[in-house]
Structure 1
Amino acid sequence: MALARLDGRFPRLMDKLARAQLLILDDFATHSLTDQQRFPLLELVEERYQRRSTLITAQVPISAWHDLIGDATVADAILDRIVHNAHRISLEGDSRREQKAAPILTGNEIPEIMAKFSTTGSQNDAIKTVPDLPETPPATCRNQCPTSAKCAILVRLAFMKVASAMWP
């Protein structure tokens, strides 16, 4: 939105967002809002109120949104429009991402994969040896990766693995 404001597209962007049948705000309220974020959100919520559907996902409980929005008056106005007539679905339990996370690769697996790739000359053989990587690497990956260059190789190989599965 900040970029759209700078290059003059902001009014068209707000109009487009206001007219969408379903607007999805994913990971809402992960950080405090600035004035440049707060006021367009109020305008957007006001335009959509009781006219269009808005789906909001958040990891932060609704009770904390007021503080994250910031300005008390604006926060009241936004939350009144969001919460009024809302259908809430609260999920509890462990994260599904944590349950599906693949094991973290160590430095020992990289030479093995690269050796197979260079000796066979076949991308498919190297791709088959790359383990499935999680959609989002766990935070511990940053601490356990020996170098970012080796991580980049694994990411490229994992992408090739996915691409070869999608387009044989």
Structure 2
Amino acid sequence: MTTQTLTQLRQLKLGGMAAALQNQLEHAGTYDDLAFMDRLNLLLDHENLTRQSRKQERLVRQARFKLHATLQDIDYQHPRGIKAADIAALAQGDWIKRAQNLLITGPCGSGKTYLACALGHNACLHDYSVRYYRLSRLLLALTQAKADGSYHKQLALLAKIDLLVIDDWGLEPLTAAHRNDLMEIMDDRHGHRSTLMISQLPTDQWYASIGDNTLADAILDRLMHNAHRLTLKGESMRKILGRLTDDEHLR
């Protein structure tokens, strides 16, 4: 009877309940004094936790982050212009709920991508869908989608992502087609979904980097008017960590 029950639970895709029931059976003395409803609630709680964990793992996997980063591992020791209180506020996710944007700027190696991936990972833990792209690869994917006829489908998929993370903004010049692609993306997401933009360029140089005054106005208006901003400063974290590693080897 026990084996049959466990098999049926797994067939019904209730693996969390099956694992919890197996645990109760193996530690019967611990649960004998509990009422039936109490034991059933424990099984349901474990099933819910299992499903939530699987969902979060799936969201993180689908996000395709460049770096494995978490908010807990952010380094506040070296002065970079970021405050733990500001990150804690962003970690609450209210800006994503309100479809607001986040702009992270700073010099090369200052930890922009790590910070963005950490915030993206945190968003996954809050059940938001996230996707990370380098701008050049996003634009290449859209160019290929035009060739194979899936362009509008790809735009629709991008529009549904709760948090779209775009790295290396302003690193390469944009063609007219690229500007149009960005306009489509920003227009679809404006007021509906959040975008996190990462750039070495300060925001006052973004206008010139787009290369077309009319589209620059339209794109940046949709991106910036409701955006939170994090400006990182200081020496490259790669150099700092490299020196620390060298020092350890010299000891």
**1:105 matched residue in structure 2:** none
Correspondence for 1:30: 171
Q: What's the counterpart of residue 74 of structure 1?
A: 215
| Partner Cα distance (1:92, 1:11) in 2 | 39
- Is 1:19 aligned to residue 166 of structure 2? no
Unmatched segments (≥5 aa) in structure 1 = 103-168
Paired-residue identity, % = 41
For 1:32-111, list aligned pairs within 5 A.
Answer: 32-101=173-242
- SS of 1:82's equivalent in the other structure is helix
TM-score scaled to structure 1, two decimals? Answer: 0.58
TM-score by length of 2: 0.40
Matches within 5 A, 1:79-158: 79-101=220-242
Deviation at 1:98? 2.2
The aligned amino acid for 2:156 is D
Q: Which residue of the partner structure matches residue 148 of structure 1?
A: none
CA distances 1:80-106 after superposition (whole Å, capped 9, x unpaired): 11111100010110111222348xxxx
Provide the rounded CA distance (Å) in 1 between the counterparts of 2:149 and 2:242: 42
Q: CA deviation at 1:5?
A: 1.1
Find the aligned partners of 1:26 and 1:60 in 2 and give their Cα distance: 12
Higher share in helix: 2
Render the CA deviation track for 1:101-150: whole Å, top value 9, x for unaligned. Answer: 48xxxxxxxxxxxxxxxxxxxxxxxxxxxxxxxxxxxxxxxxxxxxxxxx
**In the aligned structure 1, how far is the partner of 2:239 from the partner of 2:172?**
22
Name whichever structure is richer in strand by fraction. Answer: 2
Which runs of 4 or more aligned residues in structure 1 lie more than 3 Å from their structure 2 counterparts after TM superposition? Answer: none
Indicate the structure whose relative CO is greater, using CA pairs within 8 Å and at least 6 residues apart. 2
Quote the offset at 1:7 in angstroms.
Answer: 1.1
SS in 2 for 1:47: helix
Q: Name stretches of at least 5 consecutive residues in structure 2 with no aligned partner.
A: 1-141, 244-251
Cα deviations by residue, 1:26-58 (Å, 9 ceiling, x for unpaired): 111112211111001011101101110110111
